[in-house]
Structure 1
């Protein structure tokens, strides 16, 4: 019995020593700091965030969401397509027309039933219908559309005044500002998602022809044509595209700024088409690499590489080598900043440019002019001709080549074609303007060769076929 008791005591003593040694030498040190109620150490700033959220100061979107939901509609596009041939069609030799339906969103912009949406939502429609948030459905007609900006205007005849959203100035929208995306993703009507403006003047084409508002508010197929509104419920954009490898939202979405959308629909309502004004320059955004290449010290702004003949920029005195720093007091750091602002303007509108020339700043007012230039495939840039140009080469019609395509410039020059040559016909269509040329290229099938008739710099008529 004594041996057992001794063994127990020895074991207990050994365990106590082991535990004490672990506590003393091996266990990690954990210190507890107690802060009194009166202390306010800077390391406790995170508690301020919790207090802000708990105090009811978090953004409240309920009123904005309610207003926007009632002004956003569900657009259904029915198009008739031959579709794939069935076995019965093969035996009968007939092709049965089939109805295909696409859906999207739209935004009511006045009480009379005018609705703005995306061009791709209503493209190729044989029948359009619009369903309001109160479940009433109306047939819609297309007033006009602009594929370039992907904006279209619809009209419905309702039996009552309709709720609508008011336009905000999208130039005043700030990066980091809260926004709501309202639409009908996956046919889930009246869906609201929240996010912030992630970037402005975003160009997805790589050609500096676009200027989207980028947001992280969730947007999915079906949201196209819906509203992007600020916390006051004012329209700052029309949701148009997402960046995705799966076809669904993965973090970024893009909206046409409200200033551009508003100008497009106002033009459609007033003129029946879009009156695009241009500045009349070409160039690129400055950065360290580009600045070193062209030998300038500035790394911010738009470098003017060339000025279009007879454009507003040329008439105002803009020169090659100028660096555009601001337009209408808005800082310009990339070309999309410039095109986005001009996209909200019309022919005849004036813009104020702050430019850097030879190290000094100056302000120049420029009147926007109609676009009279076009980039022709394989040829280069062309513009509408003046009577003096036609008389010089004894031509009765045509458009003038002002800049040869760099890839094919040597080919043209070897054949005696230089800047100043007059293109008179494209694919047997008489050309009087760049609009005619654009239409001729648009109507050419993918398998049809490009046929160009021109008068070269020596006044000689020539014909070229490209396959």
Structure 2
């Protein structure tokens, strides 16, 4: 009995241990499955169905530009190509051969071809792409995923937003994308692109939204979506999708030092793109809102000099004559804090807000003026085609040495100088030396029109303003340099 009991005692723990291990194994498998599903659901989406549903409405765009005779070998010569063929062979080689000193011959010039992407937004054949994809093209071919090809016409282009609208005719059963809203985008959410990088059709790349509302130097009126989706030459004009399969942007530009993708790409928000599309489709051109001001960023020192607790807003450096801003009561030195209740955090926030405002509508601006907030209603005008400010002519140097503690010398501004610079008054900086003025960036030939919010119309005004400057505190100085007004910060 004792041996049997002992055997039973020994076997029972072994059976229980086996059951425990089996239970632990089952739990481990279940945890692994649920964990992998959770990770996939939260961070690693499956794009297969989204790609299958949307790739048919993405198109490949190829363009051909015919060569021109500009800069050819025949410019300045007393004969054309037909006459060239009548010359002896050795003269033909001299004027059109590879070693000719007269440039390229038209018969040697080849058509220029380029490639990009686009997508169909309507069943009647409207296609969106980038302006730089079709710019200067004589022929545009649109190829669909089912290998159908159509010759497209350019309905209209908008270089300011890098947008182009194409139209294909006599096409049936065209697939279209589902247009979403870029306003709903959030930094960190997944997005993916379909396009033809380097001619590899229907390439899919994915990433996340890296930032919103990016302003690029060449595109002031587009608040770009920044992503880390791999975009390369040939992707331009293609759609950027969210995980609902909605188009939220048009892939347009990349930041690169190598010519290829480096982790930073930019897309036109689809809300802005559809506004441009409708105007190009209906009117053939784009009308943008215009305020008529020159603005600059508010840095820490400028914020201190204007009484702001932190840098924010868009500082108005100049109000153009006869502009909507002037008629609405805006002044140089105002800092725009809000536009139609939308906060203006950076100066780059203001142009897109103004640009998308319909021409003729009134906008409510909240500005900081003299240390307090003021609300103004401004009727928005139409952005001129050429808004470049005229450059002020060069003026002479008096040769006088710096005469005050700021380290600069000034002289009265003549009426001709004031008229040429577009100012009502001011003083001309003739020379700078070591001191606060030079440290602030003030240069000879600058015109000072304001110091610490005091108007400077004459040398006497300049002396009064500088005589009461506080010490060891940043003060603003408004100058006009080559026709452009900017604010600088000086610390006496």
Post-superposition Cα deviations, 1:405-456, rounded to whole Å, max 9, x if no partner, equal 7xx4669x7793533799xxxxxxxxxxxxxxxxxxxxxxxxxxxxxxxxxx
Partner of 1:74: 60
Alignment of 1:49-68 (within 5 A): 52-53=38-39, 58-68=44-54
1:240 CA displacement: 1.0
Partner of 2:258: 246
Is 1:178 equivalent to 2:190 in the alignment?
Answer: yes
CA distance 1:346–1:66, shift in 2 (3 Å): farther
Q: TM-score, normalised by structure 2?
A: 0.63
Post-superposition Cα deviations, 1:173-193, rounded to whole Å, max 9, x if no partner, equal 222222222211111111221
Partner of 1:205: 217
1:221 CA displacement: 0.5
Partner of 1:221: 233
1:363 CA displacement: 4.6
Partner of 1:371: 383
Q: Which moved more, 1:308-317 or 1:157-166?
A: 308-317
CA distance 1:139–1:315, shift in 2 (3 Å): same
Partner of 1:435: none
CA distance 1:95–1:373, shift in 2 (3 Å): closer
1:128 CA displacement: 0.9
For residues 49 and 195 of structure 2, the distance between their equivalents in structure 1, rounded to whole angstroms, comes to 16
Post-superposition Cα deviations, 1:76-127, rounded to whole Å, max 9, x if no partner, equal 0111226999979824995314222100011211111111111111111121
Q: How many residues are aligned here?
A: 352
For residues 240 and 93 of structure 2, the distance between their equivalents in structure 1, rounded to whole angstroms, comes to 46
Is 1:90 equivalent to 2:96 in the alignment?
Answer: yes
Partner of 2:127: 115
CA contact (8 A) 2:306 2:371 kept: no
**Residue aligned with 2:232, SS:** coil
Cα RMSD (Å): 3.5
1:374 CA displacement: 4.7
**Residue aligned with 2:106, SS:** coil
Partner of 1:315: 327
Partner of 1:347: 359
1:232 CA displacement: 1.7
Is 1:237 equivalent to 2:249 in the alignment?
Answer: yes
Q: Which moved more, 1:292-301 or 1:219-228?
A: 292-301
Q: Which moved more, 1:171-180 or 1:60-69?
A: 60-69
Is 1:287 equivalent to 2:293 in the alignment?
Answer: no
CA contact (8 A) 1:170 1:236 kept: yes
For residues 300 and 130 of structure 2, the distance between their equivalents in structure 1, rounded to whole angstroms, comes to 38
**Residue aligned with 2:349, SS:** helix
For residues 132 and 316 of structure 1, the distance between their equivalents in structure 2, rounded to whole angstroms, comes to 50
For residues 320 and 270 of structure 1, the distance between their equivalents in structure 2, rounded to whole angstroms, comes to 37
**Residue aligned with 1:419, SS:** helix
Q: Which moved more, 1:185-194 or 1:276-285?
A: 276-285
1:318 CA displacement: 3.0
For residues 332 and 282 of structure 1, the distance between their equivalents in structure 2, rounded to whole angstroms, comes to 15
Post-superposition Cα deviations, 1:331-351, rounded to whole Å, max 9, x if no partner, equal 322222222233333322444
Is 1:255 equivalent to 2:278 in the alignment?
Answer: no
Partner of 1:455: none
1:241 CA displacement: 0.9
Q: TM-score, normalised by structure 1?
A: 0.66
For residues 259 and 147 of structure 1, the distance between their equivalents in structure 2, rounded to whole angstroms, comes to 17
Post-superposition Cα deviations, 1:366-409, rounded to whole Å, max 9, x if no partner, equal 332023585557x33xxxxxxxxxxxxxxxxxxxxxxx47xx46
Post-superposition Cα deviations, 1:129-175, rounded to whole Å, max 9, x if no partner, equal 00011110000111111122211111001431422224333233222
CA contact (8 A) 1:63 1:233 kept: no
Post-superposition Cα deviations, 1:256-315, rounded to whole Å, max 9, x if no partner, equal 222322222222222221212112222222221332455644411212233333333333
CA contact (8 A) 1:260 1:343 kept: no
CA contact (8 A) 1:78 1:125 kept: yes
Q: Which moved more, 1:312-321 or 1:217-226?
A: 312-321
For residues 260 and 165 of structure 2, the distance between their equivalents in structure 1, rounded to whole angstroms, comes to 26
CA contact (8 A) 2:194 2:204 kept: yes
Post-superposition Cα deviations, 1:223-254, rounded to whole Å, max 9, x if no partner, equal 00111122222222211111111111010111
Q: Which runs of 5+ in 1 are unaligned?
A: 1-36, 38-46, 381-403, 423-467
Partner of 1:15: none
CA distance 1:230–1:54, shift in 2 (3 Å): closer
For residues 410 and 335 of structure 1, the distance between their equivalents in structure 2, rounded to whole angstroms, comes to 34
Q: Which moved more, 1:291-300 or 1:279-288?
A: 291-300
Of the three residues 322, 341, 345, the one matched with 1:333 is: 345
Partner of 2:418: 418
CA contact (8 A) 1:304 1:323 kept: yes
Alignment of 1:315-464 (within 5 A): 315-361=327-373, 363-372=375-384, 374=386, 376=388, 379-380=390-391, 404=392, 408=394, 416-419=416-419
Partner of 2:284: 272
For residues 272 and 219 of structure 2, the distance between their equivalents in structure 1, rounded to whole angstroms, comes to 18
Partner of 1:140: 152
CA distance 1:329–1:190, shift in 2 (3 Å): farther
Partner of 2:446: none
CA contact (8 A) 1:171 1:259 kept: yes
